[in-house]
Amino acid sequence: MAKTDKTVIKSLTHLCFVLFMILFSCSIDDYDNYVVDLGGGYKYIVESRLIHSISGCNRIDIPPQIEQCKYGKRFILVKQRPDTYSYSDYKGVEKGCYKMGIDTPYYWIIDKQEQIHFGPISYDEYLHISDSLNIPVLLEK
The pLDDT score that the predictor gives to residue 29 is: 42
Integer CA distances (angstroms), 115 to 5, 111, 112, in order: 65, 6, 5
pLDDT, block means (10 residues), the chain with 141 residues: 70 65 48 81 92 80 92 95 72 79 91 93 95 90 87
Q: Which residues contact 7 (CB under 8 A, 6 or more apart)?
A: none
The pLDDT score that the predictor gives to residue 99 is: 87
The pLDDT score that the predictor gives to residue 19 is: 55
Quote the CA–CA distance of 85 and 48 in Å, as a whole number: 12
The pLDDT score that the predictor gives to residue 77 is: 96
In sequence order, the β-bridge partners of residue 107 are: 79, 121
Map 27-57 to HEC letters: HHHHHHHHEEEEECCEEEECCCCEEEECCCC
The pLDDT score that the predictor gives to residue 54 is: 83
Q: Whole-model pTM?
A: 0.73
Report which residue type is found at 96.
Answer: G
The pLDDT score that the predictor gives to residue 27 is: 42
Are the beta carbons of 122 and 129 closer than 8 angstroms?
A: no
The pLDDT score that the predictor gives to residue 33 is: 62
Half-sphere exposure of 135 (CA within 13 A, CB side): 23
